[in-house]
Chains A and B, each alone.
Chain A
Amino acid sequence: MPNPSTLENLLALVLILPLLSAVVSFVIPQRYSWVASITSSIFLVACAIVSFVLFFSDGNVFINAHWFSISTTELNFSLVLDSSSRLMIIVVSVVSLLVHVYSTGYMAYDPKLTRYFGMLGFFTFSMLGIVLSNQLILTFMFWELMGFSSYLLIGHWMEKPAAAKAAHKAFLFNRIGDAFMLVGILIIFVHQSIPIDSFWLTTGVLCIFCGIIGKSAQLPLSFWLPDAMEGPTPVSALLHAATMVAAGVFLLIRISSLLTETALIVIAITGISTAVFGALCALNQFDIKKILAYSTISQLGLMITAIGLGAKDAALLHLFTHAFFKAGLFLASGSVIHALSHQTTDQNKVDIQDIRNLGGLRKKLPITFIVFCITAASLSGIPLFSGFLSKDSILTAAWTLPNPSAQWIFSLLIALVSFITVLYSYRMIRFVFFGKESTLTIHEAPSVMRVPMIICAIASCWFIVSFNPIHVSGWFYTMFAEAETNFVAAGLSTVTVFIALIVATLLYSKQASAKSITFFQNGFGVDSFYQKTIGPAVLALASGATKTDKKVLDGILHFVAYAHVSFAHGIAWFDQYIIDGVVDTSGRVVKWIGSITRSFQAGKIQLYIFWAVTGLIIFLFFALI
């Protein structure tokens, strides 16, 4: 077992390796861009190995370095490795490694390969920073770096207008949340030095929660995530399924000690409504990646709900399992898209991501089919898969609530979400892999893509989490003792799942049942509502601000400037006529006196005589008197 100082070095190493990968990728010239895919994969392998070493170490590891100080308050660059971050670095580094390897195949021949791998490395670095950070301001810094890299990765194919627009949308939605988040962090930061009352604590925590809403695509701000599917599919797997969107959940777990009663209620309600909303929307989508996106929203809502119900370990468990099975789903759908993308050049403009255009791929893509089935089963919460265990613990948390009405409401809603999850998972498999076979010549993905998919599928099985397929009892149980399973809840969820399967089989057995409710398909119309109301409102506000700026502020400025100018003119006048006048007048007076004096010496003889005689007369006058 390594000693503590070695652990600290390893901790720093796990953070630096992805950054190195990014730097190396950016340095590699464009001509040899294929090198970047290999070097970054190697770096990530190293990173994953270090993560495993750290995972199996004991005790909490801290790194503290002085960062900067504001007056007396010192800010430290502090990292921590505790049980939850141990789990997270495994998730992040392993999924990132899988995505890197997968991208080697998926993104081959992409013209901007170095940039892609650079940003992947940079993203991994910032995500690991969030996971390891022991300080809210440092977290916020990594949080913003992650938003930046996410923006670049979503907009990787920026020549596509939809991709550029989606990147903008994701960035702006995150900005809204992050602005609140900064406020909240500053409130909590004050709280560290001065104890504040519960109102301000609630306000601060809820402000941070706003940032989490933005990043984890919770209800008011969830609409960037479906649009973000315009990015490359591995990016979707890494950022929008496994890690980035889960960062919000992780942060909420980190600050769970600060959560007040009110905050918990708000969080729980937000989470469960997002979960139901996401599930309903996913059921009515046709785009394979959008189904997965809405499914992610729904699952993230479940995690948030679990935190709101006080079961943060259940949330963490679901986060862990979800990372792998959702990444597996995305990778498998990416494999489908990859296999079909060669056909789009032959056929004219067939949307290969639309599940209605797919079908019968079971025979042609057997490995993808198996992976898809396993991961979808895990998503649906079918026993023997990891999803069952994690969902079960969330349901247990709801079931064991002290308040009976809350207990029933939350339990039923979570059961409803699981029910719908089964429906859309079945629908997806039914449309993509069964049905009439297409006549296209399709080939299975290369092995660099198959291996990550298979690893994800294996990680979606029960034995990764627990040796008991229906009860959490493995290493996770020893690390997080609170994650318990209630057998009533387990039974309830099992029953729900099997009923749902039956319903789904009945619903989607026929071929052409590809119907959907447009209202749900468009995400309850909230997005268009935003575009119709908030967009014009913001534009009107901006134009109003422009007008105010031009008319009022510029007017004041101009007025001040004119006032200055006229004042200066006044001073110039004063200077020219009063001060110069005084000087000139004194000069003229002197000159005048001088000229008078001079006139006595003007060379006029008769005047000389006159003055001489005048003097004489004056003498005479005095002599006489």
Chain B
Amino acid sequence: MEHALILGVILFTAGLMTVITKRNAIMVLIGIELMLNAANLNLIVFNQNSPGLSGRFFALFVIVVAVCEAAVGLAIVLRVYKYYQTSEPDQINELKD
């Protein structure tokens, strides 16, 4: 048992709870980053025991995708913030009805 896996669990849980509890879109993005990093960590750790390099490349791609997500997500946050004058995700519920 690798203790790094426990770190991954901690990171994932922390990210998940951040996503659910924080009433700010940027904090939600931060939580998502945390969760992605937990996945990265797991990929790196498991790659240690496999002969190929696919785990590391996946981690790399995940980082890139995370960047893309962060960029697009922050752009959307700003846009929403301008339009609704709030960054609370729960208040943006126009599609409810």
The answer to whether A binds B is yes
Q: Which residues of A contact B (CB under 8 A)?
A: 601-607, 609-610, 613
A604 x B20 contact (CB < 8 A): no
A609 x B96 contact (CB < 8 A): no
Within 61-96 of B, Cβ neighbours of A (below 8 Å) are at 89-90, 92-96
A604 x B90 contact (CB < 8 A): yes
B89 x A602 contact (CB < 8 A): no
Q: Does B34 contact A (CB under 8 A)?
A: no
A606 x B28 contact (CB < 8 A): yes
A606 x B89 contact (CB < 8 A): yes
B96 x A605 contact (CB < 8 A): no
List 24 contacting pairs A-B, 8 Å CB cutoff, sorted by A. Answer: A601-B96, A602-B93, A603-B90, A603-B92, A603-B93, A603-B94, A603-B95, A603-B96, A604-B89, A604-B90, A604-B93, A605-B89, A605-B92, A606-B19, A606-B20, A606-B21, A606-B28, A606-B89, A607-B90, A609-B19, A609-B20, A610-B20, A613-B16, A613-B20
Residues of chain B at interface, number, CB under 8 A: 12
Residues of B within 8 Å of A605, CB to CB, are 89-90, 92
Residues of A within 8 Å of B28, CB to CB, are 606
Q: Is the interface of A mostly helix, strand, loop or mixed?
A: helix
Residues of B within 8 Å of A609, CB to CB, are 19-20
A602 x B96 contact (CB < 8 A): yes
Residues of A within 8 Å of B20, CB to CB, are 606, 609-610, 613
A601 to B97, CA, bound (A): 9
A606 x B96 contact (CB < 8 A): no
Least CB distance, B76 to chain A, in whole angstroms:
12
A603 to B16, CA, bound (A): 19
Nearest residue in A to B97 (C-beta to C-beta)? A603
Least CB distance, B22 to chain A, in whole angstroms:
8
Residues of A within 8 Å of B19, CB to CB, are 606, 609
Residues of A within 8 Å of B21, CB to CB, are 606
Least CB distance, A617 to chain B, in whole angstroms:
10
Residues of B within 8 Å of A601, CB to CB, are 96
Residues of B within 8 Å of A607, CB to CB, are 90
A610 to B89, CA, bound (A): 13
A604 to B21, CA, bound (A): 12
Nearest residue in B to A605 (C-beta to C-beta)? B89
Residues of A within 8 Å of B89, CB to CB, are 604-606
A603 to B21, CA, bound (A): 16
A27 to B94, CA, bound (A): 94
A601 to B90, CA, bound (A): 12
A408 to B95, CA, bound (A): 128
Within 16-30 of B, Cβ neighbours of A (below 8 Å) are at 16, 19-21, 28
Residues of A within 8 Å of B90, CB to CB, are 603-607
Q: Taking each of B16, B28, B89, which has the highest tally of chain A beta carbons within 10 Å of its own beta carbon?
A: B89
A602 to B93, CA, bound (A): 7
**Closest 10 interchain pairs by CB?**
A603-B93, A603-B96, A604-B90, A605-B89, A610-B20, A606-B20, A609-B20, A606-B89, A609-B19, A606-B90
A559 to B28, CA, bound (A): 75
A449 to B28, CA, bound (A): 134
Least CB distance, B14 to chain A, in whole angstroms:
14
Least CB distance, A595 to chain B, in whole angstroms:
13
- Known contacts A603-B92, A606-B28; 14 additional CB pairs below 8 A are A602-B93, A602-B96, A603-B90, A603-B94, A604-B89, A604-B90, A605-B89, A605-B92, A606-B20, A606-B21, A607-B90, A609-B20, A613-B16, A613-B20
Residues of B within 8 Å of A610, CB to CB, are 20
Least CB distance, A599 to chain B, in whole angstroms:
11
A610 to B90, CA, bound (A): 12
Least CB distance, B12 to chain A, in whole angstroms:
11
Q: Taking each of A602, A607, A609, which has the highest tally of chain B beta carbons within 10 Å of its own beta carbon?
A: A609
A613 to B19, CA, bound (A): 11
A603 to B92, CA, bound (A): 7
Residues of B within 8 Å of A602, CB to CB, are 93, 96
A251 to B70, CA, bound (A): 128
A132 to B94, CA, bound (A): 105
Nearest residue in B to A598 (C-beta to C-beta)? B96
Q: Taking each of A601, A606, A610, A613, which has the highest tally of chain B beta carbons within 10 Å of its own beta carbon?
A: A606
Residues of A within 8 Å of B94, CB to CB, are 603
Least CB distance, A45 to chain B, in whole angstroms:
106
A371 to B73, CA, bound (A): 144
Least CB distance, A183 to chain B, in whole angstroms:
87
Least CB distance, A7 to chain B, in whole angstroms:
104
A607 to B95, CA, bound (A): 15
Least CB distance, B51 to chain A, in whole angstroms:
28
Least CB distance, A447 to chain B, in whole angstroms:
115
Least CB distance, A616 to chain B, in whole angstroms:
10
Residues of B within 8 Å of A606, CB to CB, are 19-21, 28, 89-90
Nearest residue in B to A601 (C-beta to C-beta)? B96
A613 to B93, CA, bound (A): 20
Nearest residue in B to A606 (C-beta to C-beta)? B20
Least CB distance, B50 to chain A, in whole angstroms:
24
A606 to B22, CA, bound (A): 9
Least CB distance, B38 to chain A, in whole angstroms:
14
Least CB distance, B19 to chain A, in whole angstroms:
6
A230 to B3, CA, bound (A): 140
Nearest residue in B to A613 (C-beta to C-beta)? B16
A602 to B94, CA, bound (A): 10
A601 to B95, CA, bound (A): 10
A579 to B92, CA, bound (A): 42
Residues of B within 8 Å of A613, CB to CB, are 16, 20
A607 to B96, CA, bound (A): 13
Least CB distance, B84 to chain A, in whole angstroms:
12
Residues of A within 8 Å of B16, CB to CB, are 613
A606 to B20, CA, bound (A): 5
A603 to B88, CA, bound (A): 12
Least CB distance, A601 to chain B, in whole angstroms:
7
Least CB distance, A603 to chain B, in whole angstroms:
3
Residues of A within 8 Å of B95, CB to CB, are 603
A607 to B21, CA, bound (A): 9
Least CB distance, A605 to chain B, in whole angstroms:
5
Instruction: Bits for B3-19, please: 1 = Cβ < 8 Å to A, else 0.
Output: 00000000000001001
Nearest residue in A to B19 (C-beta to C-beta)? A609
Nearest residue in B to A604 (C-beta to C-beta)? B90
Nearest residue in B to A610 (C-beta to C-beta)? B20
A414 to B32, CA, bound (A): 142
A610 to B93, CA, bound (A): 16
A377 to B12, CA, bound (A): 150
Residues of B within 8 Å of A603, CB to CB, are 90, 92-96
Residues of A within 8 Å of B93, CB to CB, are 602-604
Nearest residue in A to B93 (C-beta to C-beta)? A603
